[in-house]
Structure 1
Amino acid sequence: MSSVTVASLNRISCERLRTLLLTQHTQPGEEKVVVVDVPSRLNKQDPDHIGGHIKSSRHVPSGSLDYTAAELARQLKGAEKVVFHCLLSQQRGPSAALRYQMERERLFGRGSTVTAGGTKEEEGGEGREGGEEGEVKMQEVLVLDGGFAGWQAKYGNDERLTENYNKELWEAEY
């Protein structure tokens, strides 16, 4: 069983994520960093998504993770970093990151993730699906500090980083 808890998940600053995303966009090829937006509802027009979102982020409602975490882990097995966030990254984002990491470790073995402090998790046996098409890379699961609220305050107007940003909506809400 994973020793990772919500409190021990690694975090990433908005500034560091910005740097990683801008670097990724200038180097074509496989996605190295994947951002997962975890809104509260299935509707892409819910209040958590309508004011904008991080460019190229995946929209994965928190209520769907119980039945989609395994497929998401398979889809993202080649990514080096997977960053989860919700509006503030205090509850849904970290809970989703934990659920995802536990599912990833169940599928590919405990050695498939980087734990708090940036170290490789002690091997818990061979991953069950490691031989499937495409290599399972070591992956760091992160939570965006400040969530989208913090992100939009810094990078909402940067069209390289944020799509469909509605400044008026954020000014009215915060």
Structure 2
Amino acid sequence: MIDFTYIEPQELCLKLKNTENKAKDIIIVDVREDDFIGGHIKGALHIPSYKLSSHILNLVEETKKAKEIIFYCSFSQQRGPAGARLFLVEQQKIHNIKGIQEKTIFPKVYVLRGGFVEWQKKYGNDEKLTDKYNKELWEKKFWI
């Protein structure tokens, strides 16, 4: 089984700032639940982890032309990696159904190392990279 790779916040930042990358090339999926408040990576799809299994087939279908898909949660220790694995399992099922008759190229799957907690420390105030950032909320460490 193909597994995901971790991507560092700095690397994702460079990818997002690279004007050669189109919005449809890199898909970012935020699987946080109630902890979604306080900001998110600009352009990220918000699919809470408890809803992901019912949306996974659509997500695989909608992202099949993307080059990369990046999952994250608060720390990217549980929900982000679980979302990435679920996505990879569904990709593999589709590949197995289509068989070798059709060459299928799927996006590379990443998990953001450190999740949004690390992202917001570096890029929370950058409006080109982060939407609806609430610095005061993060200073209170509401997720603890």
Q: Same fold (TM over 0.5)?
A: yes
Deviation at 1:12, TM superposition (A): 0.2
1:81 aligned partner: 68
AA aligned opposite 2:26: V
CA distances 1:60-105 after superposition (whole Å, capped 9, x unpaired): 1111122111110000001111000000000000000000111012
Pair 27,9 (structure 1): closer, same or farther in 2 beyond 3 Å: closer
2:108 aligned partner: 140
DSSP-derived class of the 1:159 partner: coil
Distance across 1 between alignment mates of 2:23 and 2:125: 26
DSSP-derived class of the 2:110 partner: strand
Q: Give the CA RMSD over aligned residues.
A: 2.3
Deviation at 1:30, TM superposition (A): 5.6
Give ranges in structure 2 of 5+ residues lacking alignment: none
Structure 1 position 31 matched with structure 2 position 18: no
8 Å contact 2:63–2:107 — kept in the other structure?
Answer: no
Structure 1 position 19 matched with structure 2 position 14: yes
AA aligned opposite 1:66: S
Kindly tell me the number of residue pairs found equivalent between the two proteins.
142
Q: TM-score, normalised by structure 2?
A: 0.89
Aligned sequence identity (%): 39
The structure whose RCO (Cα within 8 Å, separation 6+) is larger is 2
Map 1:14-163 → 2, pairs under 5 A: 14-23=9-18, 26-27=19-20, 29=22, 31-40=24-33, 46=34, 48-109=35-96, 125-126=99-100, 137-163=105-131
